[in-house]
């Protein structure tokens, strides 16, 4: 249950997580965060917006980035230091989102890596891009 | 249900949202995002980490920032362009987190504002800091 | 709130529970168990499988068997000793599943009964079959 | 996103998933399955049972077995044919459960493997044991 330490990582390593966004995902996210912006939960309101339909929260998609970092690359034991996010396009209910992280910088002295983080939809549209800064686990693997 | 347009906003305007983080918030967030990092859902594993207890996902806290932006300042109709996040300290189950956004820059030509975004715990510890870039709603108020 | 004791049960007694499987049922089950197999949550992946669509978790259906046993036959107070399960066909979102249990063996000396347990879909397809072994409640009815 | 095919598997291969059981897990499982047996959701009723406290559903624990099979060993693409389960001891809210699967039989002709499946608590108590029968993925790895 321990992720990869900095000596096991190389620039270009990547990992992904994919999920089809359901109405229940968005509603549940709205419920636990309190982000009840009508763009996410009011179909009639949404019809009048430029997106025409209810959209997923951008931060929910950022959660998928966290999923890949915390469970795959580097994985458990990683400390999440920072993340910047650009939201590029809306995600509608039923869209399938692939979150991908790829190592772009390794600083062995500070035990710190940077990852390029993106989310794309089933048609290839990039919906989120950004960079994460994390400390890979120092613990010895068991 | 329409937030404030750029002409209604001033530097220094702020808004907040506060919630006590429950185990069920963290477990539900883990469930919808897939971020089942043991740091969040495995008490025995957590005992061996530097935090000693299960912690909330940093991105869940970022969700509270989104809540303030999407429901209060500027509010519905706002388009979220970007967010950068620095995670400064862990949040444990039972901690009360206050998310705050404050306008620090207004660009009327591009209809764009920047907000300082922070989350603090009940004892004043800052747990998250960053900046958001958003487009306030252009729609006429009804 | 007490189920039937062994003296109130006869071979051939049966009970049922029926539910239409929603996307949110499957997503929530994935979330609480951590079973994020893409067959359940990734529409694009599912298109490439022999089932063509996302399917429900087999163990979610087994949960409906548990529902009948724990709430109807024998009902509250029953101790669930064992269950064997054969998964026979996929269940898609929107399918209606009927779980049925029927007593096939009664051992009064050991206070133990066996039940035939099945799940069928709206078109009669059997999707799950198996046998449960349970201890009916010994407590006196109030 | 494809698990291991039968030629990549050996007797003795194993994988695990661990989660601390929360009240919200049990309540959510009760909600989606309908298994509202008071043993799981009624604290006053539970005080009068031999377990003294509300307990998790046995089938929820079986869900963790499914998690390991569907996401780790053999992983995505696996077809779940059957599972037998013996429930050995109660799991209380706050207990940490480790689900483990280990390959005990490989039938290359029928493309079928058997796994020993167990769940244990933080103190080593075995709470569930059984055997799973699955078809590892046949699809080529990409």
Residues in chain D: 142
Collapsing DSSP to helix, strand or coil, C53 comes out as: coil
Contact D18 B43 (CB under 8 A): no
C-alpha A3 chain-centroid distance? 18
Long-range pairs of C39-46 with CB within 8 A, sequence gap ≥ 24 = C39/D70, C39/D76, C39/D77, C40/D70, C41/A19, C41/A20, C42/A18, C42/A19, C42/A20, C42/A96, C42/D1, C43/A20, C43/A94, C43/A96, C43/A122, C44/A18, C44/A20, C44/A96, C44/A122, C45/A18, C45/D1, C45/D76
Both tokens assigned to C47: 């298109």
Q: How confident is the model at residue D106 (pLDDT cuts 50, 70, 90)?
A: very high
State the burial class of residue D41 (Cβ atoms within 10 Å of its Cβ: 0-12, 13-18, 19+): middle
From first to last of the 142 residues of chain B, give the pLDDT tens digit: 689 999 999 999 999 999 999 999 999 999 999 999 999 999 999 999 999 999 999 999 999 999 999 999 999 999 999 999 999 999 999 999 999 999 999 999 999 999 999 999 999 999 999 999 999 998 554 4
pLDDT tens digit sequence for A84-140: 999 999 999 999 999 999 999 999 999 999 999 999 999 999 999 999 999 999 855
Report the residue of chain B nearest A133, measured CA to CA.
B86
Q: Tell me, what's the pLDDT at D138?
A: 87
Work out the minimum CA distance from A11 to partner chain B, whole angstroms: 23
Q: For residue B59, what are the CA distances in angstroms to B79, B84, D79, D117?
A: 19, 11, 34, 34
Contact B38 D18 (CB under 8 A): yes
Contact C42 A18 (CB under 8 A): yes
Q: Tell me, what's the pLDDT at C63?
A: 98
Q: For residue A51, what are the CA distances in angstroms to A26, A56, C84?
A: 16, 11, 49
D interface toward A at CB cutoff 8 Å?
A: 1, 16, 18
Q: Tell me, what's the pLDDT at A142?
A: 46
Work out the minimum CA distance from D95 to partner chain B, whole angstroms: 9
Alpha carbons D98 and D129: distance in angstroms, whole number: 12
Both tokens assigned to B108: 């009327």
The domain spans of chain C are 6-135
- CA angle A17–B21–B33, rounded 5-degree value: 10
Hey, of B20, B33, B44, B91, which one would you mutate to test binding to chain A, going by the most A CBs within 10 A of its CB? B33
Nearest-by-Cβ selection for A58 from B17, B38, B80: B80
Report the residue of chain D nearest A15, measured CA to CA.
D1
Q: How confident is the model at residue D141 (pLDDT cuts 50, 70, 90)?
A: very low
pLDDT tens digit sequence for A43-97: 999 999 999 999 999 999 999 999 999 999 999 999 999 999 999 999 999 999 9
Alpha carbons A60 and C38: distance in angstroms, whole number: 18
C-alpha A56 chain-centroid distance? 13
C interface toward A at CB cutoff 8 Å?
A: 22-24, 27-28, 36, 38, 41-45, 54
- Residue A109: Cβ within 10 Å count: 6
From first to last of the 142 residues of chain C, give the pLDDT tens digit: 689 999 999 999 999 999 999 999 999 999 999 999 999 999 999 999 999 999 999 999 999 999 999 999 999 999 999 999 999 999 999 999 999 999 999 999 999 999 999 999 999 999 999 999 999 998 554 4
Q: For residue D118, what are the CA distances in angstroms to B32, D29, D62, D68, D89?
A: 26, 20, 9, 11, 12
Alpha carbons B52 and B39: distance in angstroms, whole number: 9
Work out the minimum CA distance from C37 to partner chain B, whole angstroms: 10
Both tokens assigned to D1: 């996103």
Contact C32 B31 (CB under 8 A): yes
CB contact set of A55 (below 8 Å; sequence gap of 6+): A39, A40, A46, A90, A91, A92
pTM score of the predicted model: 0.94
Q: Which residues of A touch D18 (CB under 8 A)?
A: 1
Contact D28 C32 (CB under 8 A): yes
Q: By the 8 A CB rule, do A51 and A94 touch?
A: no
Q: By the 8 A CB rule, do C140 and C3 touch?
A: no
Residues in chain C: 142
Work out the minimum CA distance from A105 to partner chain D, whole angstroms: 25
Collapsing DSSP to helix, strand or coil, B90 comes out as: coil
Beta bridge partners of B102: B14, B116
Q: Which residues of B touch A42 (CB under 8 A)?
A: 1
Contact B71 A36 (CB under 8 A): yes
Question: In the block, which residue shows the tokens 């548990």?
Answer: C66
Partners of chain B (3+ Cβ pairs below 8 A): A, C, D
Residue range B6-135 in CATH 3.10.129.10:
yes
Alpha carbons B32 and B17: distance in angstroms, whole number: 22
Considering only CA atoms, which of B116, B120, B91, B84 is closest in space to residue B103?
B116
Nearest-by-Cβ selection for B33 from A49, A58, A64: A64
Q: Tell me, what's the pLDDT at D142?
A: 46
Collapsing DSSP to helix, strand or coil, D19 comes out as: strand
Could you tell me where the beta strands, DSSP code E, fall in C61-140? 79-87, 96-107, 112-121, 126-135
B interface toward A at CB cutoff 8 Å?
A: 1, 17, 19, 25, 28-29, 31-40, 42, 45, 49, 57-60, 62-67, 70-71, 76-78, 80-87, 139
Contact C37 D70 (CB under 8 A): yes
Hey, what's the torsion of the CAs at D21, B65, B59, A91, to 10 degrees?
A: 100
Q: Which residues of D touch B23 (CB under 8 A)?
A: 22-24
Q: Which residues of A touch C32 (CB under 8 A)?
A: none
CB contact set of D100 (below 8 Å; sequence gap of 6+): D14, D15, D16, D68, D117, D118, D119, D120
Both tokens assigned to D133: 């029968």
Work out the minimum CA distance from C64 to partner chain A, whole angstroms: 21
Nearest-by-Cβ selection for C29 from D32, D40, D77: D32
Q: By the 8 A CB rule, do B95 and B20 touch?
A: yes
- Residue A112: Cβ within 10 Å count: 16
The region, left, alpha or beta by phi > 0 then psi within -120 to 50, assigned to residue C61 is alpha
Phi and psi at B119, nearest 5°, equal -125, 130
- CA angle B93–D68–A99, rounded 5-degree value: 65
Contact A96 C42 (CB under 8 A): yes
Q: Which residues of C touch A122 (CB under 8 A)?
A: 43-44
Both tokens assigned to D4: 């291991």
Q: Which residues of A touch D16 (CB under 8 A)?
A: 1
Q: What's the order of all strands across the beta sheet hosting D112-121?
A: C14-20, C96-107, C112-121, C126-135, C79-87, D79-87, D126-135, D112-121, D96-107, D14-20
Contact D96 B54 (CB under 8 A): no
Q: By the 8 A CB rule, do B50 and D23 touch?
A: no
What is residue A70's DSSP assignment? Answer: H
């Amino acid at each position: 249950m321990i992720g990869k330490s900095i000596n096991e990582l190389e620039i270009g390593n990547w990992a992904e997580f994919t999920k089809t966004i359901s109405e229940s995902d968005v509603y549940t996210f709205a419920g636990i965060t309190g982000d009840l912006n009508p763009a996410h939960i009011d179909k009639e309101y949404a019809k009048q917006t430029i997106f025409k339909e209810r959209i997923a929260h951008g931060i929910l998609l950022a959660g998928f980035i966290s999923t890949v970092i915390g469970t795959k690359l580097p994985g458990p034991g990683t400390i999440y230091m920072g993340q910047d996010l650009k939201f590029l396009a809306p995600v509608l209910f039923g869209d399938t989102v692939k979150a991908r992280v790829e190592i772009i910088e390794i600083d062995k002295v500070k035990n710190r890596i940077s990852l390029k983080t993106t989310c794309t939809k089933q048609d290839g549209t990039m919906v989120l891009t950004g960079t994460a800064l994390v400390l890979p686990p120092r613990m010895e693997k068991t």
